[in-house]
Structure formats: structure tokens, C-alpha cells
């Protein structure tokens, strides 16, 4: 066949796309043809097609896989799934900054581990203290104040802290493709939840602004709070240095059961800490969508898979074996973070 001109070839491809779209088999082409692509930051590769195809199936009234809106529950891990978690998770950066800020009130920290390691900027030494060290850092920075006081401390930190590499507020380092996905799901009658190992009170300070997810749709780890009467006769909730619930690994389906009480039909994670949530989602009846974000792009973000903490290993194996969606960040995302002025996402996108 003779080579045709660029214009008529493009015309043929466009016609073909329109015809395919009209069959309803490729709704993403339909959306694009109409100029209403709901996921413009996603490349036109497998995960995007799988997402749109799934949403189309479960929202088609009268269709065999229709799911009524009340049961369209979508759960998302936060760190590394909705926003950047490197070089340290956002809440870790907050805790380390707080240790530095509080040192003047705790001169003894200069000689006491694990605080000494933090103040000397020695993350390797800090990690050597393991879970116990992390708990001490969290207790020192996340307890001993009321819930209202903590929310203000966290909000003040978010207003000024900047990511060391990207030099932007952490609230601008949500993934643009995931912001579009959240908005797309909500536009299709889904209720979107965060189910994260992060602290629930820390996340809630920004989740509405960043993701359009209100406080009551955030499930996370928590410390014990204690109700008591304040000196002004008004009650307060005081944050205690006691872990109440760890919303990670098997804790995620447990947290989903306790907080949401419905099994998700759509779930996204990025590490083995999300494995059980994805298994729990997969085990329900009817149509299901399980997805993983695989960090493969060290130019635009970071590249990591198997690692010391929060590794992606077993969940990736099951994803590959069972056909769960695996987002290869480098291949599948046309854009990683919102552009300046594009807005942090949530509210703006709704």
C-alpha cells in the first residue's frame, strides 16, 4: 500500500477511533473524541483503559455488573499512592522538623537517642533504633497536646514546609493523575476514602484541600485520646503517647471494616502495606478493581520497588499473577505533579 499523506492518515485514524468509540468498547477514545478525557494526565496505556472500562461497567444501569452508588466504595493508600513519600514520608518530615523546633524546650535531647540522631541529621543512626526509636519520635511530637492544638501545629507546618528536592509545599506533591482519578470516580458516584498507615489527625488537616476527601472519609493510624475538662470548663481531647490502632497491612481491611463497614470495589496502593487491602477488595463478589502505583521514574519522581521499609514485593507478585493494574509511573503517567497554578487538586477539581 502506498504511503498516504500525514493529514489523511490522521483522518483515517480519527475515524477509526470514532467508530471504535461508538461501539462502546473503548470509552476512553469516546471521551477523547468528545474532548472530555477524564484522565488527561494518564497516557493511553493499559491502566487507564482498565480504569475507564471498569467504571463504565459498574455504572451502566441495567448492565450485568452494575453497582448501586451506595456500594461504590473506593479506598486509596496515601503515602506513595496519592502523594510523594520520598525521601521520607510527609509525616516523617513533619516529626523531624518538630523535634528540631522543640529542642529549645528539651535541651536533654542533644545527648539522648534517638533525638540526638535527628538533631545531628543522621537518618541511618535513627533507623538503627528501629520501631522503638520511631515510636519515641512520634510520641514526642504527636502527644501531650489537645487535638485542636495538634491540628494547628500541623496546619502551620504545612503552610511553610517545602519538599527538599522539588522545593514546593508538600500539599502540591500529590500526583496529578491520581487527583484526576479521584475526581473521575466521584463524578461517577463513587465515595472516595483514604486508608493509610499515616496518622488520621495529621492527614485530615490537608486531605480535603489536597484531594477533596473530607475528614470523615479518612481512615488512618491513631493514638489514644483522652476526654477531660479543660481549665476553662470546656472539654478537650488530649493526645496520649499510646498507639491505639495501626492502619497498615492486615490493619487496613480491619480499619475498613471498622470505619467504613462496606467492602471496597476499587482500591489502590503502592506497597506490601496495601497488600491485604487489595486482597480484601479482590475477595468480594462482582466487578472489582485493584491497582498498584509502581515507582519507576527517578527523573520526574523516584524509582524504588523492593526496599527496607514499605517494600513492594508480595503485592506486586499477586498483581502480576492476578491481572491487577500496575501503574508504571514512567510509562503510564504523562504528568506527575500538578503544574504551578493547576491547583493542589481536590477542591479545585471537583
User: Would you count residue 191 as binding a second copy (CB under 8 A)?
Assistant: yes
- Grid cell 502540591 is found at 172
C-alpha distances (whole Å) from 179 to each of 79, 241, 274 are 14, 34, 19
**Shortest separation between residue 205's beta carbon and a second copy, angstroms:** 10
Query: Is the Cβ of residue 248 or residue 332 nearer to a second copy in the bound state?
Result: 248
Q: What is the CA radius of gyration of the chain?
A: 22
Query: Is the Cβ of residue 182 or residue 336 nearer to a second copy in the bound state?
Result: 182
**Shortest separation between residue 276's beta carbon and a second copy, angstroms:** 6
User: Would you count residue 2 as binding a second copy (CB under 8 A)?
Assistant: no
User: Would you count residue 314 as binding a second copy (CB under 8 A)?
Assistant: no
User: Would you count residue 321 as binding a second copy (CB under 8 A)?
Assistant: no
Q: CB-hemisphere CA count at 13 Å for 22?
A: 6
Instruction: Calculate ∠ Cα 273-147-105, nearest 5°.
Output: 95
For the chain, give the number of residues: 350
User: Would you count residue 201 as binding a second copy (CB under 8 A)?
Assistant: yes
**Shortest separation between residue 229's beta carbon and a second copy, angstroms:** 8
Count of positions on this chain that bind a second copy (CB under 8 A):
36
User: Are the beta carbons of 190 and 142 closer than 8 angstroms?
Assistant: no
User: Would you count residue 227 as binding a second copy (CB under 8 A)?
Assistant: yes
User: Would you count residue 63 as binding a second copy (CB under 8 A)?
Assistant: no
C-alpha distances (whole Å) from 4 to each of 15, 26, 83 are 15, 26, 45
Q: How far apart are CA 174 and CA 110, in angstroms?
A: 34
Burial (CB count within 10 angstroms: exposed 0-12, middle 13-18, buried 19+), residue 48: buried
**Shortest separation between residue 313's beta carbon and a second copy, angstroms:** 18
SS3 (DSSP) at 269: strand
By CB under 8 A, the residues from 116 to 175 that bind a second copy are 147
Instruction: Calculate ∠ Cα 108-110-112, nearest 5°.
Output: 70
Site string for a second copy, 18-57 (x = CB under 8 A): ----------------------------------------
In the complex, the residues that contact a second copy under the rule CB under 8 A are: 70, 73, 147, 191, 193, 200-201, 204, 208, 214-218, 222, 225-227, 234-235, 237, 244, 250-251, 253-254, 257-262, 276, 279-280, 283
Amino acid at each position: 500500500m502506498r504511503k498516504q499523506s500525514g493529514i489523511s492518515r490522521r483522518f483515517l485514524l480519527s475515524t477509526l477511533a470514532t467508530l471504535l468509540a461508538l461501539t462502546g468498547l473503548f470509552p476512553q477514545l469516546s471521551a477523547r473524541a468528545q474532548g472530555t478525557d477524564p484522565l488527561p494526565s494518564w497516557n493511553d496505556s493499559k491502566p487507564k483503559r482498565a480504569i475507564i472500562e471498569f467504571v463504565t461497567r459498574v455504572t451502566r444501569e441495567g448492565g450485568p455488573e452494575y453497582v448501586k452508588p451506595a456500594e461504590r466504595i473506593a479506598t486509596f493508600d496515601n503515602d506513595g499512592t496519592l502523594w510523594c513519600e520520598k525521601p521520607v514520608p510527609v509525616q516523617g518530615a513533619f516529626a523531624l522538623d518538630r523535634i528540631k523546633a522543640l529542642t529549645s524546650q528539651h535541651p536533654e535531647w542533644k545527648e539522648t537517642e534517638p533525638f540526638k540522631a535527628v538533631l545531628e541529621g543522621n537518618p541511618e543512626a535513627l533507623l538503627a533504633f528501629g520501631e522503638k526509636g520511631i515510636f519515641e519520635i512520634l510520641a514526642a511530637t504527636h502527644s501531650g497536646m489537645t487535638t485542636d492544638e495538634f491540628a494547628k501545629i500541623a496546619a502551620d507546618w504545612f503552610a511553610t514546609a517545602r519538599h527538599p528536592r522539588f522545593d514546593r509545599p508538600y500539599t502540591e506533591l500529590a500526583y496529578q493523575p491520581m487527583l484526576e482519578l479521584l475526581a473521575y470516580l466521584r463524578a461517577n458516584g463513587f465515595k472516595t476514602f483514604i486508608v493509610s498507615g499515616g496518622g488520621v489527625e495529621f492527614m485530615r488537616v490537608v486531605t480535603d484541600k489536597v484531594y477533596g476527601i473530607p475528614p470523615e472519609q479518612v481512615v488512618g493510624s491513631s493514638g489514644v485520646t483522652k476526654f477531660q475538662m479543660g481549665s476553662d470548663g470546656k472539654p478537650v481531647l488530649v493526645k496520649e503517647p499510646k498507639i491505639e490502632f495501626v492502619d497498615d497491612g492486615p490493619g487496613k481491611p480491619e480499619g475498613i471494616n471498622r470505619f467504613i463497614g462496606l467492602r471496597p470495589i476499587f482500591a489502590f496502593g503502592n506497597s506490601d502495606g496495601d497488600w491485604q487491602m487489595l486482597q480484601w477488595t479482590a475477595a468480594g463478589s462482582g466487578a472489582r478493581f485493584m491497582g498498584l502505583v509502581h515507582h519507576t521514574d527517578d527523573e520526574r519522581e523516584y524509582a524504588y520497588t523492593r526496599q527496607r521499609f514499605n517494600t513492594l514485593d508480595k503485592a506486586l507478585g499477586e498483581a502480576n499473577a492476578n491481572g491487577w493494574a500496575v501503574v508504571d509511573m514512567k510509562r503510564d503517567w504523562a504528568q506527575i505533579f500538578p503544574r504551578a497554578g493547576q491547583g493542589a487538586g481536590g477542591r479545585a477539581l471537583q
